[in-house]
Structure 1
Amino acid sequence: MTEQHPGATPEPSTDPAPQPPQAATTPSYRYPTAAGPTAGGPTAGAQGVGFGDDTAPAAGSRRRPAFIAAGVAAALVVGGAGAFAASQLSGGGAQPADVLPGDAFAYVRLDVDPSAAQKVSAVRFLGKLPQVRDTLGSGDPRQKVWEAITADAKSDCVSRFSYSGDIEPWLGDRVGLAVRPGGTTGKPNVAVAVQVSDEGKAQDVLTRLLACDGADETDLRLRDGYAIVTPKGQGDATLAAVDRGRLAADPEFSDDMSALGEQGVASAWFDTAPAAKELESSRGSGRSTSDLGGLGDLGGLGNGSAMMSGLSGLAGAKGAASGRVAVAMRFDPSYVEVAGITRGVTAIPGYTPAPGDGTQLANLPDDTLAAVHVSGAGDALKAAWPQIEKMIDGSGDGADRLAAVEQQLGVTLPDDAQVLLGRSLTVSVPDQQLGDGVPSIGAKIVSTDANRADQLVETLERTAGAPGTLTREVDGDTLYLGTTPDYVGALKSGGRLGDSDAFTAAMGDTSKATAAVYVDLDRLEKQYLPQVPDEQRAAVESLRAVGITASVQDAGSGSFSLRVVGN
């Protein structure tokens, strides 16, 4: 495998499995019509769709050429969806993880050429969003972003680059970013891999573009159809790390991404253990997360300080320093979804949550506007109580205050809290015109002692100075309560919310959901639709429902999803 350095003449790759050469000029993007594919396959209608000017990022302060160069990569996904509904449906070829080092502890991938099924699903979903459909125009979306990125560039050097002549002939469909151990002060050890269709042209243009501001802050290397940009002095070391092992071949990474399934237009992976070690090393050497802001200097893929602070929060979370998270944004003809999995993450040491029981959510009345469901919160609180007590004991007179609360309310903690939170807690709001009198809100608590839970609610009402505010009824192991008697009766009678098309699309299978949130946007929109400007009303009306679910498979493993459903 031959490594290409800036200024060197490109040489053929000697890798045992080289990527097939691509055409020097990338075809102009054309998209299927908003009506979606026909029975004969996706259509590339005479009128394609591209990005309107109002979808481009607003111009800000002057961007450095380094930002612009890597910012070209961000062009691959601006607009979130329309870009990857391209006419070619291959979705094949090397992914950024194939050319990034296996020692990375964080990885983000953006792809405008995902699988054929994803492109078809995206076209069909976007057809449900008229405002998006109507504001997309014809042409290459990457050109729109290039123009937006360079619009406020003051450098004459940058202005001499044209998209059609300099960028389009080599810019590919994918970009990936990896964060690795060994960052130095002011520069985290990152590598940005931009897919290119012509390595020679990419090297020439990127080398000149990165040099526009006269600074020498980055290394540029070429490998297997990708341009790899790193902080200065890290280029050769990064490729050496790739030779030792690629991220795509890392067993944990590959297993996690396989379990994640369809990776859609964007995906990410994060391993907290090496991240925590790196952050601790940074603290020990005097480096701080703010010192690592050089990540942003690689341009267009996020602010370095913000990202490193986020990683710090994840890695430093109690019990999270040994787990991994994988996330993808993908499409279905009915919805767009951000879905993820966790592996080896234990929020409460020694405690494994039991599978949830989302049937309590699915059995809500048919006219439910919004609902929140949590399973096992009582058991989780009791399991975490020793840690909570340590925190309270370490806060001065915290323990005495807790004892005073127990005495005042006549409760025993954490046992009574466990009873009140129950095996499951479901709060719901029926369809209604909010703002007209007392709103109807209700809840049902499935508890090990529903009668005791009833007493505890009465105690809390009395302590709050509002006795009798809620209607309460105990039926077997369930406590029903609500702001109106009628709604308590409706909760007891139940319904078939789980059978509705909107619920099914937004929530999927909730039978084992540990936590879930559901909002029927069609029912909710009457609360605010009259105040929505006419030009935005169609977009509001095109959204049907939102659903969030989280489930536990086994010790340390789980899954989660956020879906937005279109009409």
Structure 2
Amino acid sequence: MSANNPPYGQDPDRTTAYNWNQGQQPENQPTAQYPGQPYPPQQPYGQQSAQGQGAYGHQGAYGQQQPPYNPQYGQPQPPQGPQQPYGGQQAQGGWQQQQGWQQQPAQQGWQQQPQQQYQQGGWQQEQQGWQQGGWQQQGPEGFGPAEPAKKGRKSWIIAVAAAVAVVLLGGGAVWAVGALGGGGAQPSDVLPANSIAYARFDLDPAANQKVALFQIARKFSATKDAFSGEDPRKALFDLLNEDGSAKADFAKDVDPWLGSRIGVAAVPSGKDEPDIAVAVQVTDQEAAKAGIAKLMEDDKYGIAFRDDYALITESQDLATKYAEAEGSLTDNAEFSEDMGAVGEQGVLSFWASMSGIIDLAKKEIPADQVASIEAIKNARFAGALRFDSAYVELAGVVRGAKGMAPDGDLPKANIGTLPDTTAGAISISGLDQMVTKQWAEIEKQATAAGNAQVSQMLQQFKTRFGLNLPADLATVLGQNFTVAVDSEGLNTDQIKGGVRVTTDAAKAQAIVDKVLNAFAQNGQPAPQIAKVAGDGVFTVATTDDYAKKLATEGTLGESETFQTAIPNADDANFAIFVDLDKIENLYLQSMQGDDKANAEVLRAVGVSGSQTDTEANFSMRLLFN
């Protein structure tokens, strides 16, 4: 997370900002403003524009429905200019295009016949196109003819993918392709400036997010053929009303006024519990009043309006107070800086201030834990769930804490220097510092009531193996501790795995030898391991050849899969990497049908992050083939 990221809200389309290894965005490609003016200009849901119909209806803004384009996805980029987009001519409220795009079959993207017309505010095609809220397709991989949905139980990852697609896409390609907005006010623009926690759910994120999510959903059998609906807001309403208890009807009571963004904030109340404020984007205030009243039924609540949002609280006085307040959460400098550090806000984002939360919970904090909380009392954390065509990512930052790396900057994980045949690895820096710093507390907990076994185990380490704790343990864990498993040999009885430690190699080998000798002296078989003591690096492995291979600097970091999964590898202090393509033979053979096809889509998993004494960031990515 670069310190040079612009403040929250100034960079509308952050794909290249967080996708560090995939280059820069094309110079002439327009971005979807976040927040700000969307591209293309778009009317609120269900409203008529001057030359066409609203987004979610069937026609795009200015009487046209515009297919997405992005050179990164192999799609043609239309000529720039406000008067003649796509090279068309304006006629009868729509765009008449004399010459359409022509793609070669080998390319991924949009394949269309030359004679296409934008007529009557929509897009009419002779051979293919969008029809009645669905999407009829022709073309190569990813956009070929839709296959019938196959039956079969879903694994948990497929169930998650299906749920995300249903809620965010609403089953509608019209939303994913036609509503490329993402602009306008955010919930943080109307919620109180002194909020201590905030969460935002956005059904109208930046264009890159919609296109990426659409492409990902098309990869799975559970979601690829589910594009028949048109409105993700209704999908969300139906999801929340699965039991059918709501008396409100979506079409009559919700659709006429509901926007696409919802925000929730916890606000200090001066009591043991915070006040809760909900900001719902609306397009018609009077209709919203009536619809919300029907949704709330007999529940007590207050409602007031600010900008394009309805503020809903537990009392009318509170709602009016928040609506009339000066400033907003967006004006909170810490909030804006933290969200700016996160980057692209995606479809879900969140933020919290630990100081405010601790103030609320201070009566419940045990006296013996007050000191440990001191280090995080001024911390704040922020994060976002976002999409790229190649992966889904949960990213976040922690700022304002202290004592996270008390002995200075932590060493780098250097996981990219593992062998290129690595199937999976975990690398953590600073374990020596953590053990040394926390040892007194570890012994204290070990001697506490109920922990006799832990206390006995620590004593055996000292007496049986002759270890000097915590110094010897800190030496073995080292400045960086990396565990790796190689893809070669996974199908044999001799798995190649090992540990590489950045430490005093001579001391580490002496400690390991001491432990192995203790086994022999007690008549117990010692573990058979291979050891390599290098310059500042100590390596142990299951085989001699893998120990030598692991001790040598490898080229895993040159892999495109690794670079995408671990985007900040050069700066990471901790990392987890699993190349699913290299181990899929271990589990695919026991799968069949849709389960097997969906599992083959999964490519790799990456978790990484870095930290200083006061800040930390993390990225969790699931990659797709």
TM bucket normalised to smaller: 0.7 to 0.9
Question: Which of 500, 506, 530 pairs up with 1:444?
Answer: 500
Give the aligned length: 489
CA distance in 2, matches of 1:527, 1:253: 45
Assess if the C-alpha contact under 8 Å between 2:177 and 2:210 holds in 1.
Answer: yes
In structure 2, the partner of 1:153 is 244
The answer (yes or no) to whether the contact 1:339–1:561 under 8 Å persists in 2 is yes
Identity of aligned residues (%): 31
Shift of 1:365: 1.3
Aligned counterpart, 1:555: 613
| 1:326-368 deviation digits (Å, cap 9, x = unpaired) | 10112223221111111012355x8155243232x11111111
Q: Secondary structure of 2:464's partner?
A: helix
Q: Distance in 1 between matches of 2:221 and 2:260?
A: 26
| CA 1:495–1:405: 2 relative to 1, 3 Å | closer
TM-score (norm 2): 0.69
Answering whether residue 366 of structure 2 is matched by residue 366 of structure 1, we say: no
- The aligned runs of 1:15-414 (5 Å cut-off) are 22=44, 25=47, 27-28=55-56, 38-40=75-77, 45-46=129-130, 77=168, 85-129=176-220, 131-154=222-245, 158-159=246-247, 161-182=248-269, 188-211=274-297, 215-232=298-315, 235-236=318-319, 238-239=321-322, 243-281=325-363, 319-346=375-402, 348=404, 351-359=406-414, 361-392=415-446, 402=458, 405-414=461-470
1:409 counterpart SS class? coil
Note the alpha carbon deviations across 1:237-283, whole angstroms, 9 max, x for none: 6516x614311101111111112211111111011111011122578
| CA distance in structure 2 between the partners assigned to 1:282 and 1:234 by the alignment | 29
Bigger helix share: 1
Equivalent pair of 2:529/2:541 in contact (CA under 8 Å): yes
Equivalent residues of 1:192, 1:229 under 8 A apart: yes
Counterpart CA distance in 2 for 1:412 and 1:236 is 62
Pairwise CA RMSD of aligned residues? 3.8
3-state SS, counterpart of residue 85 of structure 1: helix
Any conservation in 1 of the 2:201–2:347 contact (CA below 8 Å)? yes
- Are the equivalent residues in 2 in contact too, given 1:189–1:234 (CA < 8 A)? no
Q: Give per-residue Cα distances to partners, 1:19-57, cap 9 Å, x unaligned.
A: x9956646326796899672136979516669x9999xx
Structure 1 CA distance for aligned equivalents of residues 270 and 183 of structure 2: 33
User: Residues 451, 507 of structure 1: CA spacing in aligned structure 2 closer, same or farther, 3 A cutoff?
Assistant: same
Distance 1:179 1:436, change over 3 A: same
Output the amino acid matched with 2:476. Answer: L
CA distance in 2, matches of 1:558, 1:373: 16
CA contact (8 A) 1:76 1:174 kept: no
- The answer on 1:418 being equivalent to 2:474 is yes
User: Matches of 1:538 and 1:314 in 2, distance apart?
Assistant: 51
Match in the other structure for 1:457:
512
Structure 1 residues 183 and 486, CA, compared in 2 at 3 Å: closer, same or farther?
A: farther
Paired with 1:314 and 1:75, the residues of 2 have a C-alpha distance of 44
1:477 maps onto 2:568 in alignment: no
Q: CA deviation at 1:423?
A: 1.5
Letter in structure 2 aligned against 1:445: V
Q: After the TM superposition, which of the residue ranges 170-179 and 381-390 deviates more from structure 2?
A: 381-390
Q: CA deviation at 1:374?
A: 0.9
TM-score normalised by the chain length of structure 1: 0.76
Q: CA deviation at 1:94?
A: 0.7
RCO higher in structure (CA 8 A, sep ≥6)? 1
Residues 100-133 of structure 1, C-alpha deviations (whole Å, 9 max, x = no match): 1112111111112222333333344444445432
- Residue 258 of structure 1 aligns to a residue in which SS? helix
Name the CA shift for 1:86/1:33 in 2 (closer, same or farther; >3 Å).
closer
Asked if the contact 1:32/1:85 (under 8 Å) is kept, the reply is no
State how far apart, in whole Å, the 2-side matches of 1:327 and 1:80 are.
Answer: 26
| Deviation of 1:494 (Å) | 3.9
CA distance in 1, matches of 2:371, 2:303: 30
Q: Is the 8 A contact 1:28 1:140 kept in 2?
A: yes
How far did 1:523 drift? 1.3
Which position in structure 2 is the counterpart of 1:519? Answer: 578
Partner residue, 2:526: 467
Matched residue type, 1:199: Q
Deviation at 1:142, TM superposition (A): 2.2
Q: CA deviation at 1:400?
A: 8.7
Corresponding residue for residue 569 of structure 2: 510
Q: Which one-letter code corresponds to 1:339 in the other structure?
A: A
Equivalent AA in structure 1 for residue 276 of structure 2: V
Alpha-carbon distance in 1 for matches of 2:330, 2:383: 16
Residues 46, 353 of structure 1: alpha-carbon distance in 2 compared, 3 angstrom cutoff: farther
Residue 557 of structure 1 deviates from its aligned partner by 0.9
Alpha carbons of structure 1 residues 230 and 460: separation in structure 2 relative to 1, 3 Å? farther
Q: Which residue of 1 aligns with 2:604?
A: 545
Secondary structure of the residue aligned to 2:589 is: helix
Say which is worse superposed, 318-327 or 332-341, in terms of deviation.
318-327
The separation in 2 between residues aligned to 1:141 and 1:49, in whole angstroms, is 14
- Which segments of 5 or more consecutive residues in structure 2 lack a partner in the other structure? 1-41, 48-53, 59-65, 79-108, 111-122, 124-128, 136-147, 152-164
Distance in 2 (CA, whole Å) between partners of 1:426 and 1:49 is 49
Deviation at 1:387, TM superposition (A): 3.9
- The CA distance in 1 between the partners of 2:374 and 2:391, in whole Å, is 34
Kindly tell me: are residues 231 and 355 of structure 1, through their superposed partners in 2, closer, same or farther at Cα, counting changes over 3 Å? same
